[in-house]
Chains A and B, each alone.
Chain A
Amino acid sequence: MDQRDASVPTISRIGPFRASIATFGALIGSGFRRYATYRQATIAGTFTNIVFGFLRCYVLLAVAATAAGQRPAGYTAEQLATYVWVGQGLLAVIGLWGWTELADRIRSGDIAADLLRPVPPLTGFLAADLGRALHGMLTRFVPPLLAGAVFFPLHTPSRWQTVPLFAVSVVLAVVICFGCRFVVNATAYWLQDARGPITLWTLGAGVLGGLYFPLRLLPAELTVALWVATPLPSLLQTPLDVIAERDGPALQAGLVALQVVWAVLILALGALVQRRAERRLVVQGG
């Protein structure tokens, strides 16, 4: 957070609704600027995403080459390549790993300062995270996709609604991913040290989100159970299946509708956890 946030008008004559929209927008901007500072880290991360893109793409294409009907789990080779490369681009956009800010602030006691702000922590962190995701979309999303398009034949969307649906799906995935990370970090209110839950999240989100392999390779009942009972497939698997056009138009839209449900549920859970935590919070420090 830089100094410009102090000038954000939270109490003003333009009315409370427009003022909170302005605050939210300013926080998104600050999140964007914060990540725009680390240009070299952006380049380093992009390089790594591309290397992993080659790895996963070659492995899945080798599976497709010998699979029954050359369509493992119903994907053509082009769809699999799209799945992998868009996935590598989205990884930094949804920000699956590495966010421990809330847990760190709880442990150090800095959270006390956040509670004094006129913006609730859930809203403030969400806005900053949307700014981070926007920066990721503008810098980290395109290079892996370009690398994939240069070296592999990709699937070109054939329906008009696929790209807009994908855009909505990505925004929802960012919100769901943030909500999950918020709840996982918030366990620090009770545990002090949230490293254990964060380890489990890092582990589960990658595999069950569909990063390592498309979840459709698992038995069908298990895939459906994961999708309905956990928010994890809504993080990567849904946007990737939408852009790869793995399913018919109805299921494609249905998966995004399921994301809406999860986004509402996870934000509600985050708000509930925060409220319960504030009632029993012991500020750390000394």
Chain B
Amino acid sequence: MGELRAYAALGAAQIRSATAYRTSFLIELFGNMGATVFDVLTVLVLFRATPALGGFSLAEAMLIAGLSAAGFTLADFTVGNVDHLKSLVRAGTLDAVLVRPLGALPQLLLMDLPVRKALRVVFGFTVLVLAVAANDIDWTPARALLLVVAPVAAAVFFGSIFVSSASLAFWWVDSGEVGAAFTYGGRDFTSYPMSVFGGWFRGLFAYALGFAFVAYQPALALLGVPDPLGLPAWSGFLSPLVAFAAAAFAAGVWRAGIRHYRSTGS
């Protein structure tokens, strides 16, 4: 109970500090939303030049992009700040987090809760809702359930990617932008039908790393469209399982990283 109150105090302090400089906060709020807006606009612009992308219509592609945007923005809002970890590891200031009687990961997330990213979550889910409305979906109880579960599973998956790639800093302090290839790269990758990509690149990102199950396979299951790449129709329903596996992996990497951490000093 005391722990929960401590977390609540940390979160509330963040909201107060974010609203201290109102103009800057508002610009950042809309600027952050703009990033997701442009991601979605990019898909629309591409469809100006072509009637189909990888064999999918605009409405179908928007459902994939919407699932990805909803999952990514939710994960970025709640967990995305963990990428500050590398500066804490470099400076050795993670010590201060570790000596407190609270969990290290929740503290890190609440120490700098990105209130400025709140609006883009709303936008991500708006795109998803509009995309669902634009498609003629043959509703069944299983599909309705999938529509609720898939964005959450996508968020858990992206959150796991955020935590795993940030943990890289425990072993490689100068890992710098490598994490972005999987977090922001993953967001861009999952925004498009997998049939767009080819060769070993698709094999690696879509199936070995599991990004195909974030938005593409669930979207196919919702639409009832067979996968041009040959996975069975029920594979869209695997998204929570894949997300769970990713979360278990991230938890393992995080624990190993915390144990490996040796602080620093000068």
Contact = CB atoms under 8 A, between A and B. Distances in A.
B181 A196 contact: no
B24 interface: yes
A63 B177 contact: no
Of the four ranges (under 10, 10 to 19, 20 to 34, 35 or more), the interface on chain A belongs to 35 or more
B178 A44 contact: yes
Contacts of A193: 21, 24
A70 to B, nearest CB: 10
A130 B10 CA distance: 43
Contacts, number: 108
A72 B50 contact: yes
Interface stretch (A2-10, A49-57, A112-120): A49-57
A187 B45 CA distance: 32
A72 B49 contact: yes
Contacts of A22: none
Nearest to A41: B176
Contacts of B32: 199
B176 A217 contact: no
Nearest to B185: A51
Interface in A221-273: none
A60 B196 CA distance: 9
A62 B176 contact: no
A193 B17 CA distance: 14
Contacts of B48: 217-218
Contacts of A63: 46, 49-50, 53
A257 B35 CA distance: 31
Contacts of B27: 195-197, 199-200
A16 interface: no
B172 A217 contact: no
Contacts of A195: 24, 27-28
B177 A44 contact: yes
A183 B53 CA distance: 39
A58 interface: yes
B210 to A, nearest CB: 16
Nearest to B52: A66
Given A195-B24, A197-B27, A199-B27, A47 B181 contact: yes
6 contacts: A38-B174, A45-B177, A47-B178, A48-B177, A203-B35, A217-B45
Interface of B: 21, 23-24, 26-28, 31-32, 34-35, 38, 41-42, 45-46, 48-54, 172, 174-178, 180-181, 185, 188-189, 192, 195-199, 201
